[in-house]
Structure 1
Amino acid sequence: MQFPLMKKSLRIRRLVGEELNEGNFTMSSPAVIEFTNFPGGPETFELLIKFCYGINFEMTTLNVANLRCAAEFLEMIDEHGEENIITHTETFLSEIVFRSLDKTVEVLHSCEHVLSMAEEVKLVNRCIDVIASKIYHEQQKLSNRLQAEGNHSIPWNYNSTHLRELQSAILPTPNWNQDEDSTPVPHTINRRVKVDWWAEKLSLLRIDLYQRVFTAMKASGVRAESLAGSLMKYAESSLKHLHGQGNQGASVMMSAPFTTAIRLKTKHHLDINFGHNHKTIQQHEQRNVLETIISLLPTENNLFPISFLLSLLRDAIALDTTVACQLDLERRIGLQLERVTANDLLIPTLPSDTDDAMYDVDLVQRVLVNYLQQDENFKNEHNFSLNSDSDENGISLNYQKGIRKVTEVIVQYLAEIAADANLRAAKFAAIAEKLPSHFRAMDDGLYRAIDIFLKAHPYLTDVEKRKVCKLLDCQKLSREACFHAAQNERLPVEMLVKVLYCEQMRIRNALVEDESPHQEGSYNYGGYSLNKISNTGSPRMDTLSRLRQKNKFLKEEVAKLQLRVAELEKENTELKLGEMKTIVASGNSVRFFSSVSRRLGRMNPFSSKHKDAAKQRDHCLPPPRQRRHSVS
């Protein structure tokens, strides 16, 4: 007589037969058959017992994978029992599960706990193929109906939520929304990421299974926008604890990978590899997830929102991913640097050294270099001139608009990081040097950043100050900025002289224009245009009165500048005398300060050298001839 379980399971029948043949058991110590790592555990074995004894139970998407793998493990095929459990599970899979995308994803998710056996029965591959095929055909079906019905609404059998998500691009989190500036990135194709309803279903999968599904979808022809949306949704779900979304969400998210690790490996194995530090285990798993997500990013440029890429980069730095992953993200961010803000670039450095700067300046410099390099390649490829007025497609204008936007953002970024006392002058200057000067209409923002930096670093050497200040173009400073710079004692003397010289030239030009009212045409002063003066009546007198007032004001400004230059010359003389005394005491050379003095003399617009030269010319003239006067 055979028990129902022995009748339907070839493996149990074989094991019992071996025990009977050996005869190593008695009534007091009966034979025991032990199964280690039984697929699905005791719950699944109990369901198989019910099946063998004819007890009804419900087969669902949550237990069908376990039943199929356990039946394979016990060799419960039809040859050893009519309509055995394998036949029932395969019928359920083909007629119910594989006809629905939702159910197929649920079954694939349940395969994670019995992965090796599910691979053996080809259940994982079948689920992946069905998912990729259904998503592709669903997109094709939607596209065809939209084309046929002129983009009108389409009656689907899905519920309202699915229909709404199918017909709109829904982003996963407010932090990763498309940028507020809807202007397309210059010289690129603006393709917006699309998060379909099935992306949330796929986000439940473990990273190794999701990677295989993603690869299958890409091979089957699923659109890049949908693939990108799926990646964004998966990243949101698996990395939410890194984005500060609350302790509850973090604990739920972290429990799944940790539990999976326990099932896949024995506790002893975990202790050998990771010890009892759960945080280390979690970081290792999260690093693996993030590196896989980065490796799956589509190659299309400007597909993801810049905020999403920046979020991935921050996570990559925090989890210490490979250098290749971080460089890939930096390159992608550099391709659409026009969309960032100064706050986006404020990426903190790792707290490894107290002497390090507060923000990762090297990273921003690499991103900026990537942007400038791709812009240079684009300019050479299209062979357009920045000064050309004929631009039918607006390529040159878009290029200039984009690089001006980047320049403004980097200047704002410099102002944000300038107050960091640990920021070195070389790094500050290295970023500022990358900015193309011909795309900076005004240098007020750069002057503000330099002033903040000098104020936060009072112990800079003169060489470091000159290195930072040489980036400033005094001719691009506004009148207010020039007035502030002329009184800024933090600037080196050379920079003060340059500022005063530029301001003097500006005042002289204004005086020349204002003192010539009789000339034809219009005159410009301070951004205001004065039309040609009439020769009749009161308007002429009013204009002349205004010009006299302006001339008086400008002359007062010149007098103030002359006084300021005199003070600077006096300070320079005192510094020179003091330095000479120090040099005499120490035996050093005075060549450096003498050369500085000569340069300052040449740069000083109010120097009295021209007077000395005039006197010298007078002395060089021959004396006048003495004429003889005769009295006749």
Structure 2
Amino acid sequence: MTDECCEGNLANLTHGFITQVALSTLSGAITVLKTCEDLLSVTQQINIVNQCIEVISAKACDEADFPSCLPPNCWAEELAKVQINFFQKIIESMKSRGAKALTIACAITTYVKRSLPDIVFDRSASTIKSPISDDSLTSKHKQRQILDSIVAILPDETRQPVFSINFLCHLLRIAVLLENTGDCKRKIEKQIMAILEHVTVDDLLILSLRFENERLRDLECVRRIVTGFVEKEKSKSVICYVDFDQTPSPAMARVAKTVDAYLREIARECELSVSQFNGIANLVPKSVREVDDCLYSAIDIYLQVNADVRLAKENEKLKNELKRMKMYVIDMEKNHKTGYKTKKPTFFSSVSKTLGKLNPFKQGSKDTTNIDDQIERTKPKRRRFSMS
């Protein structure tokens, strides 16, 4: 079969056909690579796998920059047909060729939607179908491996979004559901944190959705993401010598408004505890809120839904009022009892005593004719009266 026996044998002809015909188009190269999945050890020895990956990455970059077919992202649909290990190598090869971040993001988004189709959120329904089921062709372990591989090749987070934040929130929700590693979830959270100013209430609600068989409410994800974003905005204001409390950035103001609206939505849930409600409400500083109407509305909704909390709050107010009344009554009783006892000298009483010592009438004559007029007058003689 090789040229060692005779020239133009099967091995040489096969290699020439693959190189000149099969690898001449993107779809042809994808087909050859897929056939290598079952003969991986053999194809790696004759270097067909690496050759296919290089051809596919080169043609995918060309199609992304200069589309020659419709729809324009048909190249991404072709890449989504291969196994995750091959796809990962193709993306790395595209990065080495200088592919744009938006091109990489398009390929990854398409692949995730094809390999995990239930990740797409149905906005018309109040729940989304869990991608984990007994009838699923792909096991939970394999899905976890796919997501780990996808997250590993995500472009570094930038302020300019390359992924939609809605997609990233779905990705994080699936990572929580599949119980992926903490590093995997933290990398997605950083991606969301970098573009949080574009988040909507629906995006944050994705992280608190109900699944068919279980109720997942991971408010901790929201807390970490918003807290990280606030800390980053504070550090930026310090670098720019700007008072964060006095002049918050437009991005911070938008996030604060969205968080308040999100709190108003989840306030209707009976499972939301008081500590969780307060935790979400205090995620953004008070100084960055332009208005507090949405926050007050959330508090009102929460108290209406959670009647026991409202009653507890009213009882606490009543207890405080009773304590004040009790202290008032005790003070009144003390004053009443001490009213009959000798009072302690006060300032006014000491002044009265001092003035009393200076009273000219306290001792001596009661004659007032020579007081304050500075006129000398002879004192009347004292007469002795006798009775005869």
Indicate the SS of the match to 2:204. Answer: coil
Distance 2:3 2:14 in 1: 12
Q: Is the 8 A contact 1:335 1:370 kept in 2?
A: no
RMSD of aligned alpha carbons: 3.8
Aligned counterpart for 1:365 among listed residues 212, 220, 223: 223
Alignment of 1:225-304 (within 5 A): 225-243=102-120, 279=136, 282-301=139-158, 302-304=161-163
Is 1:135–1:222's contact at 8 Å kept on the other side of the alignment?
A: no
Equivalent residue number for residue 341 of structure 1: 200
Query: How do 1:412-451 residues align onto structure 2 when only pairs under 5 Å count?
Result: 412-451=261-300
Letter matched to residue 207 of structure 1: I
State the shift of 1:283 in Å: 1.8
Counterpart for residue 472 of structure 1: none
Residue type matched to 1:324 in 2? D
For the Cα contact (< 8 Å) 1:335–1:374, is it kept in 2?
A: no
SS at match of 1:112: coil
Offset of residue 134 of structure 1: 3.2
Q: Which residue of 2 aligns with 1:207?
A: 84
Q: Give the match for residue 55 of structure 2.
A: 130
Paired with 1:447 and 1:621, the residues of 2 have a C-alpha distance of 56
Measure, in 2, the Cα distance between the counterparts of 1:225 and 1:353: 36
Letter in 1 for 2:144: R
Gaps of 5+ in 2: 123-130, 332-345, 371-388
Q: Which amino acid aligns with 1:118?
A: T
2:14 to 75, 81, 89: 89
Task: Letter of the 1:285 partner, please give it.
Answer: K
Task: Work out the percentage of aligned pairs sharing the same amino acid.
Answer: 27
Contact 2:29 2:55 in 1 (8 A): yes
- Normalised TM-score (structure 2): 0.73
Distance in 1, Cα, partners of 2:310 & 2:350: 45
2:39 aligns with 114
Write the mapping of 1:229-628 to structure 2, written as runs, cut at 5 A.
229-243=106-120, 279=136, 282-301=139-158, 302-346=161-205, 347-348=207-208, 359-385=217-243, 400-460=249-309, 490=314, 493=317, 574=322, 622=352
Change (3 A) 1:127 1:417: same
Counterpart residue number, 1:471: none
CA distance in 2, matches of 1:629, 1:105: 131
Return the offset for 1:350.
Answer: 7.9
Aligned length: 334
Call closer, same or farther: CA 1:233–1:109 in 2, change over 3 Å: same
Q: How far off is 1:244 after superposition? A: 6.6
Code of the aligned partner of 1:348: S
| 5+ long unaligned stretches in structure 1 | 1-75, 143-155, 166-195, 246-253, 255-276, 389-395, 466-489, 494-567, 581-593, 599-615
Specify the code of the residue in structure 2 equivalent to 1:343. D
Structure 1: how far apart are the matches of 2:175 and 2:347?
Answer: 73
Q: Distance in 2 between matches of 1:492 and 1:387?
A: 33
How far has the Cα of 1:117 moved from its partner? 1.6
- Relative contact order higher in (CA < 8 Å, ≥ 6 apart): 2
Q: Give, in angstroms, the shift of residue 306 of structure 1.
A: 0.5
Aligned partners of 2:230 and 2:284 also within 8 Å: no
Counterpart AA for 2:225: V
TM-superposed CA distance for 1:226, in Å, is 0.5
Q: Deviations over 1:537-589 (max 9, x none)?
A: xxxxxxxxxxxxxxxxxxxxxxxxxxxxxxx8xx9665666xx7xxxxxxxxx
Q: Which whole-Å CA distance do the structure 1 matches of 2:282 and 2:349 have between them?
A: 50
Deviation, 1:329, is 1.1
Residue type at the aligned position of 2:45: E
Q: CA deviation at 1:138?
A: 5.8
Query: Shift in Å at residue 240 of structure 1?
Result: 0.7
CA distance in 2, matches of 1:418, 1:491: 21
Change (3 A) 1:330 1:574: same
Give the secondary structure class of the aligned counterpart of 1:113.
Answer: coil
Partner amino acid for 1:368? V
